Structure formats: structure tokens, C-alpha cells
Structure 1
Amino acid sequence: MWGRGFASRHWRAFRASAFGATTAAAAALALPASGIVLCETKPAPSREARFGLEGLKEVGKRSPMEAPSLPSGDIKERWSLVQKDWSLTKPQLDKMVSSFLDELQKGLESRGTAGCFKMLDSCVTKIPTGNETGVYYSIDFGGTNLRVARFELKGDGKIKGDALKANLMTAGPPTAQKGLMDKTVSAREMFDHMADQVKQKIEIHGDAAEGPISVGFTFSFPSHQVRLDHSALAVWTKDFETGRGTDDPVEGQDVGALLKRSFKEKKIPADLKAIMNDTVGTLLSCAYANGGQRDFPPVYMGLILGTGSNGCYLEPQSASYGYTGNIINIEYGNFNRDLPTTPQDRDVDFNCDDPADRGKQLYEKMVAGKYMGELARRLTCFVLQESAPTLAWAKNSFPSEAASIVLKDNTADLSETAAVIQKYWGEPLPFESRVFLKGICTLVMDRSAALAAMGIAAVSIKTGRLERGRSSRDRGVLGMTVAVDGSLYTQNRWYADRLHHYLELILGRDRARLINVCTSNDGSGMGAAILVAAEEQN
């Protein structure tokens, strides 16, 4: 359940890493081990030539599929330009770290009303020790799949659990086109369904006789939390509209009260004790596991690097800023200062699914897995131009999963890349173009890793754990642990290595070695159960 081996190797003997090995593909276009083509630098093209397919538009004046005349130029010249725009230097990263720290402080002092970070209070005051025991339930709700899990905490950082899953799009009234996500579905209907899932799980394990079961609730939507079991939904995201077409909306209501009402009316022996988001859960789940590993430093940061990206951290001076809890949910995807945005980034932002999201979450759009494939597609159209497959010009025609396959393709003829191109774009590409596509996917993922490392570095500096001397509270261990969940990091060894490389570049080897990374599977669900246990037992 825990990726401790990989993390400990980096903690005990941190090593700088190179890009994955390549074979004959490297020789074809002087492709080094990085997977990126190196070519002779030619005179810089005009300003207009710095823009790709959709970077030449004036905002709002044409659709995503309109293709203006592209600047002429050798393909390697365009590739050289892309390398320059997408490769981050230490001065760039250092400047972003400084701005990130400035925004963190601004957000703390204003309680999230100034600057780009919301700096939300988690209301969490108890950090798990790893010694907590007992049976606890959790509800993990952050997307189309609802998960109800039962966890048995055994102490010494050990935990065992299993989950019941339900798809919200297939549940609900037959007339609801989007299931329980539909605007015609009331808040009561949605939360009654959640309560029924908890009841089913309790009956499966025969836990009803034990009395009210303590439940933690991971609710990963923008909310305003005023106490541990009270969190009001600000606005739905992720295509949810539940309640908007009824007189019983979810938005503006306390989701804790809605769930408690359903438990009570259905006479379900469950007691909601805490609500949190997935980043806090990741931090707490790793803190519990860390309790049984005395040679690791305490957990000070939780990080999601998956489809989306967000971070939270333990703020030592939280009380002095008026916070109830000591874990602050940064909502750091909205960072927007000194970012190295490219024409492709601006196109992705402008053409986001919801026009209301334009100009928002710019950092997340450059880091999170959701955007990697689309960024790679737009770069491919710019570099290959008329040689790009016809379907490559269609928005969202290259998913992030495809970019990940291309990135990891180390076959001599890039046959895995060829299969991906055929699957999504329906026509073959010559070997040289496949090499360029691999280089493009490498650049996109590498920049994401660099920016993620920048955020970790800034938060680590903010905690003071890279500078502070030893203290009895922290078990005499200098440094800090970062808890990470999300497939972009946990399922991609190459990405993880590059992130650690950039931590070293930013912080220097000695300070980078003070950061241990703990990977968590199901941190969001597990963390909710652990939080309740810590609140009850500590």
C-alpha cells in the first residue's frame, strides 16, 4: 500500500538522475539520453514565428479549429525554439520560488483574501502518531466515483482496508441524464445515496453491533470550512450540477449536515466526525505510516500530482494568523506569478472546457496530468506543421495517457509510439517524426516535474524545516517528508526522478537530501479515517 522503498532510497542516498535511456531513436536526430533532439542553433525567427497553430489568434476571434498560415522555417529550427521555451533554468526556478514564498506569506496574512492562494483552514489540529488503532470508515468523494472504505488501524503505522465503489453517473433517477451529478437531482437524493453505500458496507462487515461507526469524509470540491465537521460547498466543479435545478441545492449548504441528516433519517449507525480534502488526507495518511518509521523526518506537506494538482502544508505559526487548524490547504494550482507560459499554455487556457476558468489555475494547467496530452498535441502541430496527422489538429485528440506511453517508449524503432499515433490519429508517422513526438512528450513532462519541484522547494523553505535545528518535538530529525499521491508521480518513475533532479538544482544537494518523499496509494480515502482516529485518540 505504501511506496516506501523508492522514497527511502531517495532519502538515504539521493541521486541526480538523467532522462530514460534511448536506443536507435537517439541516433536518428542526434537524440541524447534525455530523449530531446539537439540541433544546431539558427538565428531566432520573428516574434510571430514564436507562436504555434492557435497562438497566432487574437483572443476570442476564432474557434480552436481555425488554422492560420504558419510561419515557414526548418523543422529543426522550430524544435530548437521549442526546446528553449520549454526548458527551465535555475534562475527562472529561483525567481518562481521567491514569488511562491511571497504569495504564501501574503495569503497567510490575509487569510486568502489577497494574492493568488486561497490558504484555506483545514481545522485539523491533531497529527497522527502511527499508534492509533481501531476500525474507522471513510467516504471519498471527489469525482464521478464514490468510494466507501473500511479501515482497520493496527498501530505502528500499519493499516488494512477495503472499499466499496459506486459510479454516480449510473445512479439516481432514470430521467437524470448525468445520474446523481444531474441538476435535476436534489441534495437529499445525492446524500441519501452516500448514506446507503455506508449502510451496505457496515452490513457486509457486520459492524452495526459495535455501535455508531466513526466516519471521515473526503470532499474534494471548493468549500469553506469553519470546523472539522462543517464544510459548505462554494461551487460545484468537475461537471457536477447536482441540485441546481431543484429547491434543494448542494451549493451553499454544509455537506456535513446533509450527510448527518441522511444517516439520522435512515437510522444508519454512523457518525460523521470530520471533513477534509484529498491533499490533507494524503499528508495524514503518510504521517500515520511515518509513525512506524523513526528514521524518517515528520510529514510537513501533502501533494497531489495526478489528473489535477494541489498542495497543503503544516504551518508552524498557523495560530498567530488566526487559523483553527495547523494544516493549510494552499489551493496552489492558482499560482500565477513569473510562470514561463508559452503560446501552447495560453491556447490551453483559452480553450479550457469552461470559459469561466480562463486565466485561472494557470500553474495547475502547466503541471497536472490532465493537460499533458493536449500540450503535447499543440506542440506537435507547431513543430511538424503540415507533416502532422490531420486528426492531430483536433482539440483533445491526444490524451495524457498517450503522452505517457510515448515518453516511456524505449523500443529501437519507437513501435509503441507508432501504435499510439495510429490509435489516436489514425495514420502512420515516419520514424523521424516519431522521434520528435517523443522529444515533445519529454519536454512537456520534464517541465511539469520542474514546476512541481519548484512548489515543493518553496513550501519546504516556508516550513523552516530545511534550516531549523533539531527539536524534541520532531524526534531529533532534521528535514521533512512530503506525502505524494497521484499517478503522475507514483506510476511514473521517470517523472519522479526528474522531480528529484530539479529539487537538487533548486535547493542544492545538501538541502534537497533533507526532503524525503513518501508515496501514498488511496491517501485521500485512508486519510479521512486516520484523521478521525487521531482526533479521538490523541
Structure 2
Amino acid sequence: MAPTSALSGSTDESARQILDAIESQFQLSNEALIEIVEKFLEDFTLGLGEYNHPMAMIPTFVTGVPNGKETGTFLALDLGGTNLRVCQVQLLGNHEFTLRQQKYRVSEALKTGEATALFDYLADSVDAFLTELPPSPTDAPADPFASSNSLELLEPTTDLNPALPLGITFSFPVEQTALNEGKILTWTKGFSARNAVGNDVVKLLQDAFDRKHLHVRCVALVNDTVGALLSRAYTAGGCILGSIFGTGTNGAYVEKVEKITKLGDAPARKRGGDMVVNCEWGAFNNTRTTLPTTPFDNKLDRESINPRLQAFEKFISGMYLGEITRNILLSLVDAAPKPLLFNGRASADLNKHYGLDTAVISEIEEAWETGRNGSIPESKQVHGSNSTQNAAVLTNGTSTKSAPHFTEVDKLSAEDKSRLERIRNIIIQRLNIDAADVSLRDAAIVRWAASLVATRAAKLSGSAVAAILVQTERAKLGGGLVPTEEKIIIGVDGSLIEHYPNFNAQLRACVRGLVGEEVEKRIDLGLAKDGSGVGAALCALQATKQGH
């Protein structure tokens, strides 16, 4: 049987004081969340009014979203790493689509050679894909006139064999100036192809298609978050926000063009209507004047490859939650005069930078939640300064006045001890810590730390969603009725929202606390899968509607 105590001489009271001091730094009262939303709204306005603001608020020149009735066949090209992906999406017109896809490896020589060779390879891959997976007889080129919407559609073409429209998801920094134009600013992720920076990525690709005599036309340059919005819009009949809560985080939403004042006298602004805006909210509050920064966050930022940048992303994305948790655990291993965790010993894995993957803390949460009666009380997830109070969240969901402190393992039920035993085994296996150094109390502390970090991330994610609702005049901050019964359709994607236990529920609870139950219950929040593939094809659909 695992030992139940590993406080190594520290009194329970002194240990609790240390743990409670850490916990207090991760608490977010509703008042603090309101302040964060207000800062979001301020940064939205600044980003919509001027270029080169940290909250970039990038105009995408997508001026409408699909309604699910459109039909046609569209291609997508997704380039962002070691592999590129070619997709063929057939829209069926009933909110459903079929997807064919193939991955192709990008060699190091192509990544670092001439841009012409790289883009020729992209064109060759599309050619190979179309040869291997030719359109079926029922496939047809895009028909942007298949359904009505608010967009002004093109006059019907007389071309009996129009080129297949393609959207490209290009996951590198780009200055986008039109739906089908974007200048490459720099390469990242190991790419350094020569004579590409400063050139239009769409033209580079189209020139390659033309050299290969491919009957394909690149009509749209796409961001994966915009793609998530479009993907959700097609399957749900509309969407006002696409958001990513995974390895990274971002949001794209439908904004009134009149609010995008930095467009100046551009034709897009003169036409009015709506436009999808890519927030790039991972860079929100890089100064950290509003975000609830702790020493554990500061350590992560200082040791990161991009210090003082992407602040919001470092608080909530899956890439970082495990590392923040690891920083907490090591502070307890190193606590003086007596260690509070693992008998003061850490494994090589725990000592390694990013040695605790967010997937492991998700597994720990899952081990705790499996078989529990009920889940975290939603009222505990938003209101008050003690919303993740250790006993309420970590034991049986009852009031902290009657529940034992989470370190009082001896007072827990046999069922809860069994869950802690599962967590103990995960710690031993995943972090390679000696079993003799991992007690049930250690397991409770690890789960507590993971919960602190993830709960804060879910609340901050909820604050971003709430800010969009207020920005688009679908809600009032602090609650209050907005004169509409409109269903609010939101598309989400990413490992946290899809797999992390209770993340979705905590996000929604935060939104409810910020804008009221009447608004929150009208939110239809659903998965928008494959924004970089299906979403890019749907952006090609929108491009055909807009005349590209």
C-alpha cells in the first residue's frame, strides 16, 4: 500500500499555508475576469483602428460565411511543417461534406532551397493527389449560386470547364492584403526557402500551377482559426466565432466592417457589411498588466523562445499548461526547510524543460474524474475568489467548510483514495519517479496543481469568448438582456476543448458569470474540425462568392 504522508517533517499547518499561498495566486474572481474582458475590448478597438498592434485584429477579407446549403468541389493545401496536406472537399448542400486527403513529406532540401523548387513541389503534390484520387463523376466545380445569402454573387460564368478553386492554409507570418493576396514576412519552423520573403504566397503557388499546366486556381489564403469558423458555419448553418484551444490559441469572429477603421478608404470598407477578423489573441496583454501572472508563469516566459510575447497563449494553451504545473511541483520539491513533495527528489523527466506534458496532467484529471458522482459544481467555477478551493474541487464537491483539506488523505473515502492511487501510478509511470517517493498525499498535491492551472486556463478562455460576445453586441458585460433570441453559434477546436476533463464546462461557466445565464444558454458551442483543411476549402468557396 502507498504511504499516505510525505510532508517530510513539515507540520500540516505550515504545508497548508504554502499550498494556500500558491493557490491564491491562481484564483480569478468574477471582478478580475470582468477587468480582463474590459482589457480585451480595449485592445480589440485599438487593433481594429491601427496596424502593428499586439492584438493584430487582422482583416481577412472574408465577407460572409457559408450556410450549409452550398454545393461543389473545392481543394485545400495545408503547409505548416514537416508534411503538407492536400484535401478535396465535396460540399453536399445539406450541412455535410465528404473529405479526401493525402499527406506529402517536405524534405529539408526543399525547406532551405529555392522558393521556386518548394512551390513546384506543392504543385506536383496537388497534381499527384488529383491523379491518385480523381473527382468522381458526381463531383462538380464550385457553384457559388447554389444557395442564397447576404453576399452579392457573381454573374454566372460561361466557362464550361472552370478551374478547381483551392484555398491554402499557410502557417507562416504573412501580411494579408486581400483574400487572395499575402506577402510572406518571414519563415519559421525550420523553413528558409530563398527568394520567398516579401513575395505574394498566392502568386508563388499560382505560378507553379501554371508552370505545371494544372487546371487549379488558388483563390484564398487562409488562417486555420478562420477555417474553424467557416467549418462550423457550414455544418451548423452559421457561426459568429471560431476559436482554437489546443497547442496554441486564437479566435476569429464576424465583425461589422464599419468598426475596422484601419481599412481607411479601402474598397472593402466602402462596401460595408461584415468581415471575418483574425484576432491573434494569443498576444493579448503582452505587458501582463491585467493577466494574473505568478512566479511560475514568469519562469516559463523567461525560459521560453519568445519572452514577453504571446502572453495570453502562455496562460491557456496546451503547449504550456504542463510546464506551468511542472514549475509548481518543483517549487514544492525544493521547499525549505522541508520538501513538500516526493521526499524532495525529482526524476530526470521532471527536471527536464517541458518534461511534464499537458497530456499527462489531462490523464491525471481523467483518472480523478472517472467514476465520480457528479462533477465540479459549476457555481464554484466562476463566482468568488475561492472558485477552485482545494477541498470543494478536489474531494467530493461539497462546501469547503465541511470537507477535509485535500492533503488530509486519511479522512478521504475509500473511493477517493482509490482514485488517488490511480494518479499515483500515473506519476510513477509517466514521470519515472521512484514509487517509494510518491505517497497518496503527493498524488493529491499533483492533482491539485494540475487543477489550478487548467481551471485558470478555462476561465481565461471563457473571458475571451465573453469579450467577443460583448464586442459583437450579443451580450452585456455583467449580464443584462440583449433584445434578441438569436442562437449564438461558436466553433471550437483543439485538444483542450475536445479532451481535457471539464474544460468545456468551466469555460461555459465563466461565460455565464460574465454575461449572464440568458445569453450563455443560447450559445451553441460545437467542434469545428480541421480548420486548416476543410476550412481552407470553405474559404475557397467564399472566394468564389466574392469574385476571386
Task: Tell me the TM-score normalized by structure 2.
Answer: 0.75
Structure 2 residue 351 is the aligned partner of structure 1 residue 393: yes
Deviation at 1:508, TM superposition (A): 2.1
Structure 1 unaligned spans of 5+: 1-23, 30-39, 43-73, 174-179, 292-297, 471-476
Change in CA separation of 1:190 and 1:508 when aligned onto 2, cut-off 3 Å: same
Question: 1:216 aligns to what SS in structure 2?
Answer: strand
1:496 aligns to what? 504
1:97 corresponds, among 19, 37, 52, to 37
Output the CA distance in 2 between the equivalents of 1:492 and 1:389: 26
2:192 corresponds, among 242, 247, 252, to 242
1:376 corresponds, among 312, 325, 330, to 325
1:142 corresponds, among 55, 71, 80, to 80
2:426 aligns to what? 419
Change in CA separation of 1:84 and 1:439 when aligned onto 2, cut-off 3 Å: same
1:88 aligns to what? 28
Aligned residues: 441
2:171 aligns to what? 220
2:86–2:102 Cα contact (<8 Å) kept: yes
Output the CA distance in 2 between the equivalents of 1:223 and 1:405: 36
Deviation at 1:172, TM superposition (A): 4.5
Question: 2:296 aligns to what SS in structure 1?
Answer: helix
1:135–1:150 Cα contact (<8 Å) kept: yes
Output the CA distance in 1 between the equivalents of 2:260 and 2:134: 45
1:307 corresponds, among 229, 247, 257, to 247
Output the CA distance in 2 between the equivalents of 1:82 and 1:388: 20
User: Residue type of the partner of 1:331?
Assistant: E
Change in CA separation of 1:531 and 1:85 when aligned onto 2, cut-off 3 Å: same
User: Residue type of the partner of 1:240?
Assistant: G
Deviation at 1:516, TM superposition (A): 2.1
Deviation at 1:504, TM superposition (A): 1.4
1:482–1:516 Cα contact (<8 Å) kept: yes
1:268 corresponds, among 211, 214, 218, to 214
Residues 45-56 of structure 1 aligned to structure 2 (within 5 Å): none
- State percent identity of aligned pairs: 27
Deviations 1:427-452 (A, max 9, x none): 33222111111111111111110100
2:89–2:99 Cα contact (<8 Å) kept: yes
2:360–2:430 Cα contact (<8 Å) kept: no
Deviation at 1:367, TM superposition (A): 0.7
Output the CA distance in 2 between the equivalents of 1:462 and 1:98: 10
Change in CA separation of 1:118 and 1:413 when aligned onto 2, cut-off 3 Å: closer
Change in CA separation of 1:435 and 1:125 when aligned onto 2, cut-off 3 Å: same
2:179–2:543 Cα contact (<8 Å) kept: no
Question: 1:299 aligns to what SS in structure 2?
Answer: coil
2:200 corresponds, among 247, 254, 257, to 254
Output the CA distance in 2 between the equivalents of 1:501 and 1:137: 38
1:126–1:535 Cα contact (<8 Å) kept: no
User: Residue type of the partner of 2:508?
Assistant: H
Moved more, 136-145 or 337-346: 136-145
Output the CA distance in 1 between the equivalents of 2:58 and 2:132: 36
Question: 1:338 aligns to what SS in structure 2?
Answer: coil
Output the CA distance in 2 between the equivalents of 1:417 and 1:150: 46
2:459 aligns to what? 450
User: Residue type of the partner of 1:313?
Assistant: Y
2:282–2:312 Cα contact (<8 Å) kept: yes
2:424–2:439 Cα contact (<8 Å) kept: no
1:128–1:531 Cα contact (<8 Å) kept: no
Deviation at 1:335, TM superposition (A): 0.8
Change in CA separation of 1:374 and 1:129 when aligned onto 2, cut-off 3 Å: same
Deviation at 1:333, TM superposition (A): 0.6
Moved more, 379-388 or 337-346: 379-388
2:388 aligns to what? none
1:344 aligns to what? 296
2:73–2:91 Cα contact (<8 Å) kept: yes
Deviation at 1:308, TM superposition (A): 0.5
Change in CA separation of 1:421 and 1:256 when aligned onto 2, cut-off 3 Å: farther
Structure 2 residue 48 is the aligned partner of structure 1 residue 108: yes
User: Residue type of the partner of 1:448?
Assistant: A
Deviations 1:5-64 (A, max 9, x none): xxxxxxxxxxxxxxxxxxx99xx79xxxxxxxxxx997xxxxxxxxxxxxxxxxxxxxxx
The alignment yields a C-alpha RMSD, in angstroms, of 2.5
1:409–1:417 Cα contact (<8 Å) kept: no
2:440 corresponds, among 416, 431, 434, to 431
Question: 2:45 aligns to what SS in structure 1?
Answer: helix
User: Residue type of the partner of 2:133?
Assistant: H
Which has the higher Rg, Structure 1 or Structure 2?
A: 2
Deviations 1:331-359 (A, max 9, x none): 1111114000100111111101x2xx210
1:365–1:371 Cα contact (<8 Å) kept: yes
Question: 2:256 aligns to what SS in structure 1?
Answer: coil
1:119 aligns to what? 57
Deviation at 1:105, TM superposition (A): 0.9
Output the CA distance in 2 between the equivalents of 1:416 and 1:193: 48
2:172–2:187 Cα contact (<8 Å) kept: yes
Output the CA distance in 2 between the equivalents of 1:403 and 1:92: 26
Deviation at 1:478, TM superposition (A): 1.8
Task: Tell me the TM-score normalized by structure 1.
Answer: 0.77
Residues 142-161 of structure 1 aligned to structure 2 (within 5 Å): 142-161=80-99
2:280 corresponds, among 315, 321, 331, to 331
1:94–1:506 Cα contact (<8 Å) kept: yes
Question: 1:517 aligns to what SS in structure 2?
Answer: strand
Structure 2 residue 134 is the aligned partner of structure 1 residue 206: yes
Deviation at 1:534, TM superposition (A): 3.1
Deviation at 1:537, TM superposition (A): 4.5
1:66 aligns to what? none
Question: 1:346 aligns to what SS in structure 2?
Answer: helix
Question: 2:455 aligns to what SS in structure 1?
Answer: helix
2:224 aligns to what? 278
Structure 2 residue 132 is the aligned partner of structure 1 residue 194: no
Output the CA distance in 2 between the equivalents of 1:269 and 1:154: 22
1:177 aligns to what? none
1:482–1:517 Cα contact (<8 Å) kept: yes
Output the CA distance in 1 between the equivalents of 2:253 and 2:117: 35
User: Residue type of the partner of 1:107?
Assistant: G
Deviation at 1:187, TM superposition (A): 1.6
User: Residue type of the partner of 1:113?
Assistant: N
1:518 aligns to what? 526
Question: 1:312 aligns to what SS in structure 2?
Answer: strand
Deviant stretches of 4+, over 4 Å: 208-211
Deviations 1:481-517 (A, max 9, x none): 2211111102234211111111112222122223221
Deviation at 1:240, TM superposition (A): 2.7
Deviation at 1:420, TM superposition (A): 4.2
Output the CA distance in 2 between the equivalents of 1:94 and 1:205: 51
2:378 aligns to what? none
User: Residue type of the partner of 2:346?
Assistant: P
1:222–1:236 Cα contact (<8 Å) kept: yes
Deviation at 1:197, TM superposition (A): 1.7
2:384 aligns to what? none
